[in-house]
């Protein structure tokens, strides 16, 4: 059969763009459909603009600390519209850059919603149908909004970058990385932040000692946490403020409610079930190690598969898909030992097994720590302490996990993650001369 395309990609996020670009470079005829902006969640409404807000928020502490370093810093006023518009301008630039990349690789961009109409057919929103030898689903994930009366008065991380004014009182629902990152951002912008969590802990999946340190620091700064708490009702008053009633009967007044309660695979309305594509109970596309669904011509990469919801993972999956299918260079993504970070205030990062996971898997572990006050914090009069943890196999001394919280923790961990991935031992860390004075030197000084 003569198809219109060798590959049709639905979703122009990180994974879809990488798969489309590389496949086209191998000579495939490729089209990609996107109903919003090229770049996807990370670039348009996720990690990139959020990290820019993190930078903006951190200036609040930097300006205050600068006085202890001899700088005559006057009281400064924060201008939210200026930062918002600058961030959105950068997002627009990245959208153009991604679009140019696809165009330069001769990928046809279709700015239209697309759905699967069969094993080799795609139906566009305008009614046109096209055929493709292979179809790749790369539609990412979408914020989950809890089923509670008045939930329509809240927003998600999709909308937070477009606020007209900066709220004075912010309630954030959730305890994951998005919730804690925006808690730090809004707090440093001067808002009172209350984080509502239906569970009893924050940042599940991260090392307990590190996440407890973040909770301690956040509470000291004035961020309020309410655990084991659910929403009962959300009402908007005539003056535009919100009255948020909790399951306990308490009422919290707020100017903004941000739902950060997880992200679900974005498969609704894509025609996948009708085409016979197997989905799990959360709506995620089920794929094998080569990103293939149960329909041989249909594949999926990225958050829509709900394997690991991280942008670098989606990019790597897209690369493996293109190399394997069109480049005659088959390989599979290794999901072991993936580093992750939370850009909170201060940030935390980790790779490998947590202490709890290591004990469950190995039975016993050796844990080395460094609990210290960064030099900059000492001179600035800031009492925040950093914490580094190294988890080792008790027999071989191989480092199986590394976790840290403190200034620049994600930047330090990226290099250290290579050592953990390579299976290096505590002795090899110890044999490396410290780079002094630095926070990173604590990695080779832990006891």
Question: According to the annotation, is 180 in a ligand binding site?
Answer: yes
3-state SS record for the chain: CCCCEEEEEECCCHHHHHHHHHHHHCCCCEEEECCCCCCHHHHHHCHHHHHHHHHHHHHHHHHHHHHHHCCCCCCCCCCHHHHHHHHHHHHHHHHHHHHHHHHHCCCEEECCCEEEEECCEEEECCCCEEEEEEEEECCCEEECCCCCCCHHHCEECCCHHHCCCCCCEEEEECCCHHHHHHHHHHHHCCCEEEEECCCCCCCCCCCHHHHHHHHHHHHHHCCEEECCCCEEEEEECCCCCEEEEECCCCEEEECEEEECCCEEECCCCCCCCCCCCCECCCCCECCCCCCECCCCCEEECHHHHCCCCCHHHHHHHHHHHHHHHHCCCCCCCCCCCCCEEECCCCCEEEEECCHHHHHHHHCCCEEEEEEECCHHHHHHCCCCCEEEEEEECCCCCEEEEEEEECCCHHHHHHHHHHHHHCCCEHHHHHCCCCCCCCCHHHHHCCC
Question: According to the annotation, is 178 in a ligand binding site?
Answer: yes
Question: According to the annotation, is 62 in a ligand binding site?
Answer: no
Distance CA 13, CA 34 (A): 9
Q: Does the annotation mark 436 as catalytic?
A: yes
Residues in contact with 370: Cβ distance below 8 Å, sequence separation at least 6, in sequence order: 386, 387, 388, 442, 445, 446, 447
Which listed residue (36, 134, 345, 436) is catalytic?
436
Distance CA 10, CA 40 (A): 11
Question: According to the annotation, is 105 in a ligand binding site?
Answer: no
Question: CA dihedral defined by 109, 295, 289, 304, rounded to 10 degrees?
Answer: 50
Question: According to the annotation, is 181 in a ligand binding site?
Answer: yes
Question: According to the annotation, is 175 in a ligand binding site?
Answer: yes
Question: According to the annotation, is 176 in a ligand binding site?
Answer: yes
Residues marked as catalytic: 436
Binding-site residues: 51, 174-181, 262, 303
Q: What are the binding residues for NAD(+)?
A: 174-181, 262
* Binding-site sequence positions for FAD: 51, 303
């Amino acid at each position: 059969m003569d198809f219109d395309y060798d590959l049709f990609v639905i979703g122009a996020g990180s994974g879809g763009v990488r798969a489309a670009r590389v496949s086209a470079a191998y000579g495939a005829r490729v089209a990609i459909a996107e109903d919003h902006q090229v770049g996807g969640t990370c670039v348009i409404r996720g990690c990139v603009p959020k990290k820019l807000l993190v930078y903006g928020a951190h200036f609040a502490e930097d300006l205050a600390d600068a006085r202890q370093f001899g700088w005559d810093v006057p009281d400064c006023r924060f201008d939210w519209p200026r930062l918002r518009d600058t961030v959105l301008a950068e997002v627009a630039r990245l959208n153009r850059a991604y679009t140019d990349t696809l165009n330069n690789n001769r990928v046809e961009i279709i700015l239209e919603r697309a759905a699967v109409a069969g094993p080799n057919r795609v139906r566009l929103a305008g009614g046109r149908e096209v055929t493709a030898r292979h179809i790749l689903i790369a539609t990412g994930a979408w914020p989950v909004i809890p089923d509670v009366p008045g939930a329509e008065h809240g927003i998600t991380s999709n909308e937070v970058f477009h606020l007209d004014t900066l709220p004075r009182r912010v309630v954030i629902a959730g305890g994951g990385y998005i919730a804690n990152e925006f808690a730090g951002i809004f707090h440093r912008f001067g808002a009172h932040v209350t984080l509502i969590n239906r569970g009893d802990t924050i940042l599940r999946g991260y090392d307990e000692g590190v996440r407890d340190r973040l909770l301690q620091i956040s509470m000291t700064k004035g961020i309020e946490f309410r655990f084991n708490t659910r929403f009962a009702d959300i009402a908007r008053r005539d003056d535009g403020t919100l009255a948020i009633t909790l399951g306990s009967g308490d009422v919290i007044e707020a100017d903004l409610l941000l739902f950060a309660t997880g992200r679900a695979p974005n498969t609704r309305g894509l025609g996948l079930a009708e085409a016979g594509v197997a989905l799990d109970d959360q709506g995620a596309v089920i794929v094998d190690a080569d990103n293939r669904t149960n329909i041989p011509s249909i594949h999926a990469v990225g958050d829509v598969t709900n394997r690991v919801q991280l942008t670098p993972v989606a990019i790597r999956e897209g690369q493996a898909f293109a190399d394997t299918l069109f480049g005659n260079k088959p390989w599979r993504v290794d999901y072991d030992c993936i580093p992750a970070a939370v850009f909170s205030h201060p940030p935390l990062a980790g790779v490998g097994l947590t202490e709890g996971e290591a004990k469950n898997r190995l039975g016993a572990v050796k844990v080395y720590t460094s609990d210290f006050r960064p030099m900059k914090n000492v001179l600035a009069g800031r009492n925040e302490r950093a914490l580094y943890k190294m988890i080792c196999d008790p027999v071989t001394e191989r480092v199986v996990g590394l976790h840290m919280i403190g200034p620049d923790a994600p930047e330090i961990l990226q290099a250290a993650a290579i050592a953990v991935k390579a299976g290096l031992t505590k002795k090899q860390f110890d044999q490396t001369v410290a780079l002094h004075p630095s926070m990173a030197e604590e990695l080779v000084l832990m006891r």
